[in-house]
Structure formats: C-alpha cells, structure tokens
C-alpha cells in the first residue's frame, strides 16, 4: 500500500483517500468545521489547512488527495499561521456571544479561537447583522450571525436525507442558510443538523437555554425508542433528563438518530414518577415503604395471588430483567411474557416498526409476545406505548414495577419504582440481534432506585426457599448459557459480581 | 396508542420569529412560455441545469422581478426545493427579488471602474432616479439603480448597462443623457 508522510510518520493510505482521513485514522488531530466523514468535502471553512513540503501554499487537507512522496506538516509555522488567519477571518462577523450561546463548551469555534485566536479583533468595521431567531421546522432555531457557513446542514439534507429543505442564500457576509418556504422538514432526522453544526447557529428548541453543558453529566448509552438501538449519549442534570445525542457506531446508527427517538424522553421527566416503593394498607390507601418492607408485602401478595402466576414485562426490559422475571414466574408456577408496541413508521434508514427495544432479546429467551389483555400477577411497565392501559388493567396484577405512578392499575397492592431506560443498566438485543449495553445515566431520574432484576431475584428467593438471589453477572451468565445466545457476541465489561443498576 | 414515544413539549416559541406563510406557487410555465421552457430544458442534461435560463425567462415575463410565488412555481416545475431556487436567485445580481423599476441601470463597482470614477456615476444615477440607495427603486418607480460586480469591460472603464445594453467610457453627462433617453 502506498504511504504518505504526516508529521514525519509514514502512514499507509488507500488511493483516493484525503489527507485529513489518513490523519484522523492515525490519531493526528486536524482542525475542521465543514468536513464530515459522511459527506462530500466542501473545503469552504479553510481551517484544516496543512503544509505540504515543497508546495508554495498551504492546502485544505479535507480535499487534498494523498499522493506518493507527499510530506505533510500539520503543526508547522505555515500551517499554524494559515489556521490562525482563517480563525481571524471567521470571527470577523461572528458575534462572539459565547456567554449566552448554547454551544459554549462544545463549540469548535470556541476551542480553536482559544487556541489560535487573538484576544481582540483587529477589525474596526462594524459586524454585519443578520437574522438571529429563524425557525427551521418545529424543533430547530437558526442564528445567521453565529453561522460560519460551513454548509454541513445543507449537505446533510441534500446527501443524507435527500430531502433538500435547506440552501445557502445571498453572498459574502450576507450569506445565510434558508429553508424551503413550506417551513417544515419532511424528514424524521432533521435534528441531526443541530449536532452537526460546529457552532451555535443551529440550536434545538427542546434543549436551548436549559443548561450549560459543564453542569451536565454525560453517559454513553442507547436509545430505546425503537428496536434499532441507536447508540447515544445521555446528558442529565439534577435528576432531569436534559438531552440525548447520537454516538457514532458504524454498525448500528452511523452518526445519526431520529427526531422522535431524541425527543421521546417525556416520561423520564414526568412529574408523576414513582420514586419510592408503595404498599396498599388495609383501607386500600397507598403508603410509602422501604424496599425491604415492600419485598415482604409483595411476596405475601404473590403467594395469595389466585388468578395468575405470570409476569408481563415491557418490551424494553433488559436481558437481566427478563432472566430474573423468568425465574420469578417459574417460582410462582407461571410464565414470563412481554408486550411491545408496533409502529407503522419504519423507513429505510434507522426507524423500525418494532418498538420494544429488547423484543428480539425476549423472543430469543423464549418469551411469548402478548397482544391482548391476559391475566398476570406481576407487571413491569416503563413505556405507555409498550404496555398500554388495556393490557395493564386487564392483567389484574398484584405487584407492579412502574416508572410512572399513574400507570399503577387498581388491582395492584405493591408498587416498585422502575427506572426509565435512562436510569437502568443492562443488555438489550437490537432488531439485528446485536447485544448492546444500556448504561444508567448519571444525574437522571429520582435516584435511589434498586435495580428491578435485583428486586425480582429477592422476590424469587422469598417465594422459593431454594433460590439464591443472583447478581447481574450471574444473570448475564445464565442468559449466555441459553441456546439462542450461543453464537452471540456480548459486550465486554459486564463482569460477574457487578450489581450496579440504577444511577444517580 | 401512539407508535412513537411521547414527545416532550417544545419550549414556547416566544423568542423565535414568526414563520412567514408559504407563498402559493404560480402555475409555471404560463402558456406564453411553455414552448420556450421546453426548448431550454431540451438543451440540458438535467432539469436542474436549466434553472438559470428558466429564471431569466420567468423574470422577463413577470414584470422584471421574481416574486416568492414565481420562485415556488419555478421550483415545482424544475423539481427542486424553493430554498435552492432562492439560493440561486440571491446569488446572482441580475435577478430582482423585489418589484423593479421600469428601467434598470447597472453601475459596475469593481476595481477598474471604481478607480475610473464609478462611484460618482452611481451617485449621479441615484440622484436622477430619486432613489435612496442602490438596489431600491426610485420614488417615481421609473429607475432601479444597481451596484454590479465586474461587468467585464475593464479596458473601457467605467462601464454602465442601461436596460441590458452596455455603455463604456461613461461620463456623468453621458449617463444623464442615457437616462433622459429612457421613456
């Protein structure tokens, strides 16, 4: 394979690769705004300029193809002065309103400005004023003054979604992004342009002005809006779910996620979250209880249960919870089933019709899918959509694990708080049979939740004297021993003995 | 039961500009332009490539300017989004996005013409047109004076176009004469 020299290192490249691709693949940082590996290089921001030895001028590394015997310097005096000059040019009309900008803290312009820029502008001309609060669809707001015209959002709509809502209008310092006069995106993926935007020009109306980034905690996890299992980063602060952004995984979601998934966290921040276990007293009134009291009350209630000995789980329940539920059901002499919503909004990109994030895993474990109301003694409900009211009320359950207190049916005598997907750790099997790890996000949810699988294991122990409650590692090991999982790769790092489940 | 998960309510839109209602596209092409449009399209490998000649044709037909309605109509005809058409229209200075005057005076403002006194020409033209600044139609609606980038006549600067006709080595007196000649 031919090689190119970058900063003195001989690096192999495929013919047709650009300098920035080879540099990034080998861990050499090259500053960039308008370059994104998924789209055609535009070369308009000029910040990625590097020096090629023997060439008279610096070149943009995002468009420069690698060639034999090329020697590239990314940190030479010429390259650095080219970048500094570009930064100065980009900042001529940028308002530098970082103190009130949502992007501050994750803004590439801010980072490079700090690194390369001057403390003061040398320009004496007043800055150009452009529209600052332009709505792009329902969820996005555009600020043309902050915009550095990298055209990533325009290319995203042209090349990735192929819907072409955005275009560049006007010229020079009046240049700005304009949207089609219909004012709506026809794609379900529009909010990815907010993540793509290297500056604070595109902000999400859902998240803007809610929190500074440095007050938030970020956890790599998964989206459970459908069974695709897009890899995401969840940002939380003080018990609130603040936002979710896609995390690159070329095998699942590339760099993207859909808007319904991104915004589908309403139930996490619900005002009616069940935060502590609750037990009905003799008068039928709910009383808060400790987990120990609730376990005792629940096992008594389950021993009394006549109508059914089954467990009905939300299609988003983790493999650990499914395995614990199977043991619980068999201790009662029943079986575990699951319920999950099915949509009709699948597309050829990411969204799939199966809305049970772990429906595939449940099927692989041999759980039956339940569509109509049927009796069950134990209910596990996170999303209304997966276990709708008809199924909840029709089960006649006596014990419920619920995320939202309003989802507790009248028949229930003991209710346990059940973390939303953002607060639970565990394994999910996506629609393609890929096992991925859900991680409880820090600073999300009411906190102090016991993992549902641990509670179910304790309940099983109460009902069956011979059962020793298993920890997370043992539950995962039990799943791995299942025939259906014999050939399946599991993510590394879920060690035996690990009991951590709920976050905060 | 909804197939998609519940959405968090979007923040109140008080800080965001109101969206303009979408224009109603004109039926494009009008009967008078139909043959010509089809002839233009047949000259290009893709419909999108014919956008500029068709826009020029449309501008000539609709009172020398391209309204949002015409823009949307052309976009539908070509098969691109109207934001793309807006991008093209706003990039090229020979397109008018606002109602234009009866006559158009283009004054070159690029280096050579500027050094040879184009600034003075522009001021003369504006005064004659009774217009506040370039790009705005004069009070009587007779003239639209526009600043143009290089008109390609540097060797005979300064250059002025009046209604699409080039005039070179223009002096103030000559410009007044030219504008007086306009009906």
pLDDT greater than 90 at residue B178:
yes
Q: Which one of B21, B80, B81, B86 makes the best mutation probe of the A interface by having the most chain A beta carbons within 10 Å?
A: B81
Q: Which one of A157, A179, A181, A230 makes the best mutation probe of the B interface by having the most chain B beta carbons within 10 Å?
A: A181
pLDDT tens digits, one per residue of A236-279: 999 999 999 999 999 999 999 999 999 999 999 999 999 999 99
Domain A278-485: give its CATH architecture.
3-Layer(aba) Sandwich (3.40)
The arithmetic mean of pLDDT across residues A48-73, rounded, is: 95
Q: String of b and e for A405-435 (b: at least 16 CB within 10 Å)? A: bebbbebbbbbbbbbbbbbbbbbbbbbeebb
The arithmetic mean of pLDDT across residues A341-351, rounded, is: 93
In angstroms, what separates the C-alpha of A68 from chain B's closest C-alpha?
37
pLDDT greater than 50 at residue B1:
no
Contacts of B86 in chain A (CB under 8 A): 167, 169, 178
- Which domains, ranges and CATH numbers included, belong to chain B? 25-91 (1.10.10), 103-180 (3.40.30.10)
Contact between A253 and A431 under an 8 Å Cβ cutoff? The reply is no
- The predicted structure's pLDDT at residue A372: 92
pLDDT tens digits, one per residue of A415-460: 999 999 999 999 999 999 999 999 999 899 888 889 999 999 999 9
In angstroms, what separates the C-alpha of B173 from chain A's closest C-alpha?
33
pLDDT greater than 80 at residue B9:
no
- The predicted structure's pLDDT at residue A503: 37
- The predicted structure's pLDDT at residue B15: 64
Contacts of B22 in chain A (CB under 8 A): 181-183
Contacts of B11 in chain A (CB under 8 A): 205-206, 208-209
- The predicted structure's pLDDT at residue A500: 45
Contact between A252 and A229 under an 8 Å Cβ cutoff? The reply is yes
Contact between A69 and A103 under an 8 Å Cβ cutoff? The reply is no
pLDDT tens digits, one per residue of A279-308: 999 898 999 999 999 999 999 999 988 888
- The predicted structure's pLDDT at residue B2: 42
Share of chain A above pLDDT 70, in %: 98
pLDDT greater than 70 at residue B114:
yes
pLDDT tens digits, one per residue of A208-225: 999 999 999 999 999 999
- The predicted structure's pLDDT at residue A498: 44
* Contact check, Cβ <8 Å, B15/A388: no
- Mode of pairing for the β-strands spanning B143-148 and B103-108: parallel
Contacts of B84 in chain A (CB under 8 A): 164, 167
In angstroms, what separates the C-alpha of B13 from chain A's closest C-alpha?
8
- The predicted structure's pLDDT at residue A120: 81
Per CB distance under 8 Å, which residues of B are interface residues toward A?
1-11, 13, 15-17, 19-20, 22-23, 68, 72, 80-84, 86-87, 89-91
The mean predicted confidence, pLDDT, of chain B is 89
User: Phi/psi class of residue A146: alpha, beta or left (left: φ > 0; alpha: ψ in -120 to 50)?
Assistant: alpha
pLDDT greater than 70 at residue B13:
no
Structure tokens of A141? Answer: 């707001």
Instruction: Single out the residue of A141, A239, A131 nearest to residue A197, CA to CA.
Output: A141
Q: State how far the Cα of B158 lies from the Cα of A115, in Å rounded to an integer.
A: 46
pLDDT greater than 60 at residue B4:
no
Share of chain A above pLDDT 90, in %: 87
CATH of domain A125-263: 3.30.70.20
- The predicted structure's pLDDT at residue B14: 53
Q: pLDDT category, B101, cuts 50, 70, 90?
A: confident
- The predicted structure's pLDDT at residue A141: 95
A278-485 matches A3-90 in CATH topology = no
Contact between B159 and B144 under an 8 Å Cβ cutoff? The reply is no
Alpha-carbon separation of residue A414 from A8, A222, A276, A280, A317 (angstroms)? 67, 30, 11, 6, 19
Q: What angle do helix axes B82-91 and B68-78 make, rounded to 10 degrees?
A: 120
Kindly indicate whether the domain formed by A3-90 is annotated with CATH number 3.40.50.10860: no
Q: Which one of B21, B83, B92, B97 makes the best mutation probe of the A interface by having the most chain A beta carbons within 10 Å?
A: B83
* Contact check, Cβ <8 Å, B81/A133: no
Structure tokens of A467? Answer: 């059962």
What are the boundaries of each domain within chain A?
Answer: 3-90, 125-263, 278-485
Contacts of A340 in chain B (CB under 8 A): none
Greatest pairwise CA separation for chain B in angstroms: 78
In angstroms, what separates the C-alpha of A141 from chain B's closest C-alpha?
7
pLDDT tens digits, one per residue of A144-175: 999 999 999 999 999 999 999 999 999 888 99
How many CB atoms within 10 Å of residue A298? 30
Q: Which chain B residue lies closest to A266 (C-alpha atoms)?
A: B8
pLDDT greater than 60 at residue A370:
yes
- Mode of pairing for the β-strands spanning A9-12 and A3-6: antiparallel
pLDDT greater than 60 at residue A14:
yes
pLDDT greater than 90 at residue A235:
yes
Instruction: Single out the residue of B129, B85, B9 nearest to residue A205, CA to CA.
Output: B9
């Amino acid at each position: 394979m031919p090689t190119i020299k970058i900063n003195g290192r001989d690096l192999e490249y495929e013919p047709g690769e650009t300098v920035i691709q080879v540099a990034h693949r080998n861990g050499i940082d090259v500053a960039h705004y308008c370059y994104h590996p998924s789209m055609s290089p535009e070369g308009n921001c000029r910040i990625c300029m590097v020096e090629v030895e023997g060439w008279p001028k610096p070149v943009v590394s995002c468009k420069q193809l690698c060639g034999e015997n090329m020697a590239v310097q990314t940190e030479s005096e010429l390259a650095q002065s080219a970048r500094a000059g570009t930064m100065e040019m980009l900042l001529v009309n940028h308002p530098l309103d970082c103190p009130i900008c949502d992007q501050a803290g994750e803004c590439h312009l801010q980072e490079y400005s700090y690194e390369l820029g001057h403390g003061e502008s040398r320009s004496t001309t007043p800055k150009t004023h452009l529209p600052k609060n332009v709505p792009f669809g329902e969820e996005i707001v555009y600020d043309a003054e902050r915009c550095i015209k990298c055209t990533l959002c325009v290319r995203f709509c042209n090349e990735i979604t192929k819907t072409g809502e955005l275009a560049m209008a006007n010229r020079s310092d009046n240049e700005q992004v304009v949207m089609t006069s219909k004012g709506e995106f026809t794609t379900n993926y529009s909010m990815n342009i907010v993540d793509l935007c290297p500056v604070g020009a595109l902000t999400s109306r859902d998240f803007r002005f809610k929190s500074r980034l440095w007050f938030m905690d970020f956890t790599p996890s998964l989206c459970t809006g459908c069974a695709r299992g897009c890899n995401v980063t969840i940002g939380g602060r003080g018990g609130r779910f603040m936002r979710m952004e896609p995390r690159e995984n070329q095998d699942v979601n590339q760099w993207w996620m859909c808007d319904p998934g991104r915004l589908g966290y309403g139930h996490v921040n619900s005002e009616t979250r069940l935060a502590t276990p609750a037990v009905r007293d003799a008068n039928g009134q709910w009383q808060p209880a400790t987990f120990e009291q609730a376990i005792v009350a629940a096992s008594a209630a389950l021993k009394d249960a006549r109508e059914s000995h089954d467990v009905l789980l939300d299609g988003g329940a983790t493999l650990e919870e499914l395995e614990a539920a199977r043991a619980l059901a068999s201790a009662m002499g029943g079986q575990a089933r699951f319920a999950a919503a099915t949509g009709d909004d699948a597309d050829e990109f990411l969204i799939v019709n199966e809305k049970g994030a772990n429906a595939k895993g449940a099927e692989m474990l041999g759980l039956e899918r339940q569509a109509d109301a049927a009796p069950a003694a134990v209910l596990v409900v996170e999303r209304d959509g997966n276990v709708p009211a008809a199924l909840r009320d029709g089960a006649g359950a006596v014990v419920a694990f619920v995320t939202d207190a309003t989802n507790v049916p009248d028949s229930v005598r003991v209710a346990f708080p059940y973390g939303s997907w953002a607060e639970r750790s565990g394994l999910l099997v996506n629609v393609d049979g890929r096992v991925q790890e859900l991680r409880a996000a820090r600073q999300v949810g009411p906190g102090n939740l016991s993992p549902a699988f641990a509670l179910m294991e304790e309940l099983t122990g109460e009902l069956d004297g011979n059962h020793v409650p298993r920890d997370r590692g043992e539950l995962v090991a039990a799943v791995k021993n299942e025939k259906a999982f014999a050939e399946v790769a599991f993510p590394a790092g879920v060690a035996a003995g690990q009991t951590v489940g709920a976050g905060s | 039961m909804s197939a998609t998960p519940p959405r968090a309510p979007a923040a109140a839109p008080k800080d965001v500009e109101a969206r303009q209602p979408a224009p109603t596209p004109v039926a494009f092409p009008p009967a008078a332009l139909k043959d010509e449009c089809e002839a233009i399209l047949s000259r290009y490998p893709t419909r999108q490539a014919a956008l500029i000649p068709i826009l020029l044709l449309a501008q000539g037909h609709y009172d020398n300017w391209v309204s949002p309605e015409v823009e949307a109509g052309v976009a539908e005809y070509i098969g691109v989004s109207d934001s793309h058409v807006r991008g093209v229209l706003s990039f090229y200075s020979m397109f008018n996005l606002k109602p234009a005057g009866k006559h158009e005076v283009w004054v070159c403002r690029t280096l050579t013409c500027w050094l040879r006194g184009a600034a003075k020409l522009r001021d003369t033209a504006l005064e004659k047109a009774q217009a506040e600044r370039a790009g705005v139609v004069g009070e009587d609606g007779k003239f639209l004076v526009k600043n143009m980038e290089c008109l390609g006549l540097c060797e005979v600067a300064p250059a002025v176009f009046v209604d699409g006709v080039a005039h070179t080595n223009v002096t103030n007196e000559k410009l007044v004469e030219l504008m007086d000649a306009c009906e």
